[in-house]
Structure 1
Amino acid sequence: MTRWLHHLSLLLCLCLALTACNRVDLAYRNLDVLIPWTLDDYLDMNSEQKDWLGERLRQTLSWHCSTQLPGYLDWLGRLEQMVTSNQVSDDALQSRSQEARQAIAQTARQITPSAVELLQGMSDQQVKEMNQAFAKDLRKRQDNYLKPTLAQQIRQRGERMEKRLTDWLGPLNQAQKDRVVAWSTTLGEQNPQWIANRAHWQAQFSAAMAQRQSADFASRIETLLVDRESLWTPAYRQAFSATEAQARSLLVDLMAQSSANQRQRLAQKIAKLRSDLNALQCLKA
């Protein structure tokens, strides 16, 4: 996923989870249940650790709803205004992306102390299994994104993007489909860069976990969770700005080529998400 769409999906993750339950309030209230399952992809926690994490997540959820969610609602309002006024520009997208980065970093910073405490309590066997899970994750991504030929990678990237866009805009017209193909072709062979960067981050995380009782462990974890960009590989850092610019250019062009029905559909989906989040009881408390 492009970096800008990644920011968007992170900020709207509560709502995207509704494909399973169709109720924002239910998904939000049960994040303390949902989040450990994502952690279980890498950390095999015992029942005591899961109970401890569940309580911390409930506390974080209360903080998030009272202090962060109002900002998300404002962000969604600005996004909706961009669409309804048909003023999706490169400058506007840069602003929304920067706002999203700040919101994500603030939440990551809030959960870091709990993450540090949890990770310091991991046994050697749990760390070993985490490293094995990292290795499995990389093998899967290499199989999916590196083994195909470059032509196949470009085609698959375009297909994934078209599917995401269709969820928000409805069926794309031919000009939009052609623009997605051009975008994917321009990115070329970028898959090795982001997978190598992911492997580099995982290696840094594993190295920190190997010294989890050291005095600088908390600061290392904060860097890994909050300031990930400082750990990017040189190749990925060099390619990132151009890749993000290509993503913004794609979105600007797609909206310029959009129909009134597509813009209405997108605005309505954003408005519905905003309305559902605004109705959460935790905001009323």
Structure 2
Amino acid sequence: MSKKTSYKQWRGVIAVLILICAASGCSVKLVYNQLDWLIPWYLSDYLDMNGEQDDFFDERLQRYLAWHRKSQLPEYASLLRSIADDVNDGLNEQEIQRFQRETERLASVLMERLAPDVVAVFVDASDEQLAQLYKALDKDGERYRKRYVKQSLQQQQESQVDDVIDTIERWTGPLNDEQELLVSQWGAQYQPMGEELYQAGLKWRAEFKQTLKGRGDPEQYSSRLKSLLTTPDFGWTDAFTLKMLENKQSLSQLYFALDKTFSKKQRKRIMNTLQDYAEDFEQLAKEKE
């Protein structure tokens, strides 16, 4: 049976845990090989499962991780090596946009593969378990609102600048004054999306709750939940979709501008880091599940 599964949270469980570890200097291989207990631990804040449900969840998780190791990690490695080659030659905007599209495609593949398991996991959840899940998801939404919606425009833009600098410096090492200025100039044009994402989250959770009420009709329930889980822009307005696109394009232009300023040392560090991660993924893909 189940555990929590908000679209944004379940979709990114594997990728996020790996990226968090990489960002904090942990071993990607170490974390990946511990996902069989890290994921249940992470999800345990959302639902308590009985023994039968635990067994079902663990069996589905093991199959999912085996599929991911065999089919997805080689693709990650290939993408990273491709990026490393392009970084060596100097990036152009088309290449950056291609990397963005490929990353989104890989995320979609994850969710398409995961969705049927999520459907099966919730089909026999009790009302008490779902009430616990809804309460936890609502708390997440409120934490998001306090952190991202209540901030002023300046605070949100400054927060984005800090986040982008931190992210880039994990790959390049310290940015110089010129590079930090480029990020700051980008931040002044950034269009905050906290309110729109919060409202979309409210719509998503409302649809999620309504969908689970229909579990008595397996065919309709399955179709509706799969659709919800695999629609990343559910609840987005046309205006928000446009804002998201403009922010994405602006960020792509920033990365392109930064690429032209990278020193040989920074470029080498980026390439080495990409190659190291690619090698980790290739080794993991060859290991026995």
Q: TM-score interval w.r.t. the shorter chain?
A: 0.7 to 0.9
Identity, % of aligned pairs? Answer: 27
The alpha carbon displacement at 1:103 in A equals 1.7
The alpha carbon displacement at 1:8 in A equals 11
Alignment CA distance shift 1:89-1:18 (3 Å): closer
The alpha carbon displacement at 1:18 in A equals 5.0
The alpha carbon displacement at 1:95 in A equals 1.4
The alpha carbon displacement at 1:27 in A equals 2.1
SS at match of 2:125: coil
Contact residue 183 and residue 250 of structure 1 kept, 8 A: yes
The alpha carbon displacement at 1:173 in A equals 1.1
Q: Please give the per-residue CA displacement for 1:60-94, whole angstroms capped at 9, x wherever unaligned.
A: 111122222221111111111111112x2221122
After TM superposition, list the pairs within 5 Å mapping 1:221-236 onto structure 2.
221-236=225-240
Asked if residue 84 in structure 1 is aligned to residue 88 in structure 2, the reply is yes
The alpha carbon displacement at 1:191 in A equals 1.9
**Residue matched to 1:280:** 284
Q: Please give the per-residue CA displacement for 1:2-46, whole angstroms capped at 9, x wherever unaligned.
A: xxxxx9997585354256794333322221212223333433434
Structure 1 stretch displaced more, 225-234 or 64-73: 225-234
Output the aligned Cα RMSD. Answer: 2.6
Alignment CA distance shift 1:12-1:238 (3 Å): same
How far apart are the structure 2 equivalents of 1:64 and 1:228?
20
Alignment CA distance shift 1:231-1:219 (3 Å): farther
How far apart are the structure 2 equivalents of 1:12 and 1:125?
29
The alpha carbon displacement at 1:284 in A equals 7.2
Q: Please give the per-residue CA displacement for 1:131-182, whole angstroms capped at 9, x wherever unaligned.
A: 1112211111111112222222211221122111111111111121112122
Gaps of 5+ in 2: 1-10
The alpha carbon displacement at 1:280 in A equals 2.2
The alpha carbon displacement at 1:275 in A equals 1.2
SS at match of 1:257: coil
Asked if residue 191 in structure 1 is aligned to residue 194 in structure 2, the reply is yes
Asked if residue 249 in structure 1 is aligned to residue 253 in structure 2, the reply is yes
TM-score by length of 2: 0.86
**Residue matched to 2:275:** 271
Contact residue 73 and residue 285 of structure 2 kept, 8 A: no
Structure 1 stretch displaced more, 126-135 or 180-189: 180-189
After TM superposition, list the pairs within 5 Å mapping 1:4-43 onto structure 2.
13-14=17-18, 16-18=20-22, 22-43=26-47
How far apart are the structure 1 equivalents of 2:88 and 2:12?
18
Alignment CA distance shift 1:10-1:281 (3 Å): closer
Runs of 4+ in 1 over 4 A off after TM superposition: 7-13, 18-21
Alignment CA distance shift 1:96-1:188 (3 Å): closer
TM-score by length of 1: 0.87
Amino acid at match of 1:108: M
How far apart are the structure 1 equivalents of 2:238 and 2:73?
35
The alpha carbon displacement at 1:55 in A equals 1.8
Gaps of 5+ in 1: 1-6
Contact residue 62 and residue 282 of structure 1 kept, 8 A: no
Contact residue 53 and residue 118 of structure 1 kept, 8 A: yes
Number of residues paired by the alignment?
278
SS at match of 1:216: helix
After TM superposition, list the pairs within 5 Å mapping 1:47-196 onto structure 2.
47-86=51-90, 88-196=91-199
Alignment CA distance shift 1:173-1:217 (3 Å): same
The alpha carbon displacement at 1:199 in A equals 2.2
Alignment CA distance shift 1:107-1:140 (3 Å): same
Amino acid at match of 1:187: Y
Contact residue 74 and residue 285 of structure 2 kept, 8 A: no
